[in-house]
Structure 1
């Protein structure tokens, strides 16, 4: 049976493909260290587990409205009003099966085939892949150290700008002045924005501000995406939601209805509890120690440079002095050292690798990073 033209020219996401390969190796009994993706060693918050236990004691877990249970949508609206300063109401909340579903639906309803979507690189691979599936035109632009008016005015015409704040993989956090410039640019250009705030709780330095925290966010057409996966160590729960003007939420519901209908009620209960559980202080302190450990081990290497990230579960390593072919580097590292990293090519930036440092225990982290260092040293001295 033939498959469609759309899917025939698509490829699996590099991030999930690499993780799948590592899982298969582990299933065969191989000792592999997986830095290719960030999967927290922390459990979900206790309040989440309590909410699930209480949910399972209910006589039934019903279907909800496609956009989510009305009471839970109201709880999530209170969260974005109080924490993110986004003046949203419950009918401007849409609960989804993870952030990727929200991204797909937002792009589907906000743009038509052929429309341009600006994506800063390095980028989360799903941004580009989703645009391609929808026959949109991803326009990749280098992420600058600072988003200035000059940077914005040099951008090509586009229907949508995707903003990732905090940023995966660099860990950059946009400042208030940068967000004001972006808002002014959206107004000048008549463009809209999709803002991914999945790492909002994983900030080591600085503060997180939502671009939609402004009275005119509806007129600007800003859609904000939230996820419990990283901020609350709930990777396997597939819990996310979008904040959007009511007419966009309604359009996204029209799309979501025939695809999945509502997210599972049990997940909705868990997600609301997560976003009401407070700041993940212990998790953040642990991540900070791990981040600093890796930076210390890699310090002073002639072939590798890593900035100290202000946020996130990843380290973004420049190995361009060693090689620009980070796909080959990653393949050899996996086959010869049983350590998986994500090649920067998959994120639009050859010459870099991404290291997820929050999985496993500290001893395994140290062992894996030292293996990368030894492997890179051997290549460097052989050249």
Structure 2
């Protein structure tokens, strides 16, 4: 099947459609797009300016600047327990989103299946389709805090299954996989000879004493794991478009070929700034300040949602919360449209994140505390007026 045919199978993001509508309205509080409302720390911006002054405005290596790959290797060893060779097992990307299609393209054959726990990030299934595969949704459940269960994976694995995508902390549910969860997933992957793509872009935003673990750090798992991460969420650098992958050398080698004929290389002076930022303690202090504020916001939103009659699992990570709205009698799309038109609050229908997302909505609490308070007041008012709670 030609790529043009595959593009016809991929629908535009439901998130973007909703927010295109919201953009034309006044006084809307947006709780939708997952973007930190914090500015990039000042010292990182200064590093970018320094890079410009040094003349780092030319092409860089397809795989990324050596100094950034070395800084990433240091970070991985210190924070994740992953030993990776910066020369052959780390690649820098134009944002982490590139990683899904590019990594799948290195091994997936036409018609092979990829297991994806659902609700899921909106890019996963389209990336599988564009790479020639078939996405297979594996439902997760509220009563297990939306953490994937290996018993459910076993129900969906087949002879065609080639890979599994995991995301912890999770977008859209905020679920965080435990070490035991990951050990069971690792055993499952080994038993069925699966590649794992592990999306860890929210690794630093975790609450209530939970801990982030990287599956690639488990014994024997580096060789079958592609770890995806980036700078957008960690350092509030969404518009800088900089991500990275850690994977076996054969995967990186093929991904570099893809990059040669795609984006060529990430922006050079931005890579310089990121390398400096990773080694600057001020960066990690800023991350912790953001994490504490996200936790404060989460506590507010979780409390208010449950009080207004929308049962909600308390998320352990990321900056999303996934309340159940099915008891209102509305579909997730109807509920989201009602909130936008009547409450002037933009939320995302759970159906945008796969079949298992229906009956829920996603709220991003990456916005100011005062705006979150006002949004909760507006939502509760409309729900009471419509007698939906």
Contact between 1:324 and 1:352, CA under 8 Å: does it hold in 2?
Answer: no
* Distance in 2 separating the partners of 1:381 and 1:8: 38
Please list, as runs of the form range in 1=range in 2, the aligned pairs for 1:28-43 lying within 5 A after superposition.
30-43=26-39
1:135 match:
132
The verdict on how the C-alpha distance between 1:115 and 1:293 changes in structure 2, with shifts beyond 3 A counting, is: same
Contact between 2:183 and 2:218, CA under 8 Å: does it hold in 1?
Answer: no
Please list, as runs of the form range in 1=range in 2, the aligned pairs for 1:250-329 lying within 5 A after superposition.
250-276=253-279, 277-278=283-284, 280-302=287-309, 304-329=310-335
* Distance in 2 separating the partners of 1:62 and 1:197: 30
* Distance in 1 separating the partners of 2:299 and 2:219: 39
The verdict on how the C-alpha distance between 1:64 and 1:338 changes in structure 2, with shifts beyond 3 A counting, is: same
Structure 2: 5+ residue runs without aligned partners?
A: none
Which of 44, 48, 51 is matched with 2:47 structurally? 51
1:74 match:
70
Contact between 2:117 and 2:148, CA under 8 Å: does it hold in 1?
Answer: no
Please list, as runs of the form range in 1=range in 2, the aligned pairs for 1:161-172 lying within 5 A after superposition.
161-172=164-175
Please list, as runs of the form range in 1=range in 2, the aligned pairs for 1:148-297 lying within 5 A after superposition.
148-157=149-158, 158-205=161-208, 206-219=210-223, 221-276=224-279, 277-278=283-284, 280-297=287-304
Contact between 2:320 and 2:365, CA under 8 Å: does it hold in 1?
Answer: yes
* Distance in 1 separating the partners of 2:193 and 2:335: 42
* Distance in 2 separating the partners of 1:63 and 1:254: 16
Contact between 2:115 and 2:138, CA under 8 Å: does it hold in 1?
Answer: yes
1:148 Cα deviation from its structure 2 partner: 5.0
1:101 match:
98
Output one character per residue of 1:169-222: Cα deviation in whole Å (capped at 9) or x when no partner: 211111111111111111111111000001001001311010001342343x10
* Distance in 2 separating the partners of 1:381 and 1:318: 13
Output one character per residue of 1:225-252: Cα deviation in whole Å (capped at 9) or x when no partner: 0021122212211111000101100100
* Distance in 2 separating the partners of 1:256 and 1:116: 24
What SS does structure 2 have at the residue aligned with 1:295?
Answer: helix
> Normalized against structure 1, the TM-score is what?
0.92
The verdict on how the C-alpha distance between 1:347 and 1:59 changes in structure 2, with shifts beyond 3 A counting, is: closer
The verdict on how the C-alpha distance between 1:291 and 1:148 changes in structure 2, with shifts beyond 3 A counting, is: closer
The verdict on how the C-alpha distance between 1:35 and 1:320 changes in structure 2, with shifts beyond 3 A counting, is: same
* Distance in 1 separating the partners of 2:253 and 2:85: 13
1:151 Cα deviation from its structure 2 partner: 3.7
Structure 1: 5+ residue runs without aligned partners?
A: none
How many residues in Structure 1 have an aligned counterpart in Structure 2? 373
The verdict on how the C-alpha distance between 1:150 and 1:329 changes in structure 2, with shifts beyond 3 A counting, is: closer
1:324 Cα deviation from its structure 2 partner: 4.7
Moved more, 371-380 or 51-60: 371-380
Contact between 2:140 and 2:149, CA under 8 Å: does it hold in 1?
Answer: no
> Normalized against structure 2, the TM-score is what?
0.91
* Distance in 2 separating the partners of 1:147 and 1:21: 33
Tell me how large the CA RMSD over aligned residues is.
1.9
* Distance in 2 separating the partners of 1:252 and 1:89: 16
What SS does structure 1 have at the residue aligned with 2:105?
Answer: helix
* Distance in 2 separating the partners of 1:197 and 1:295: 23
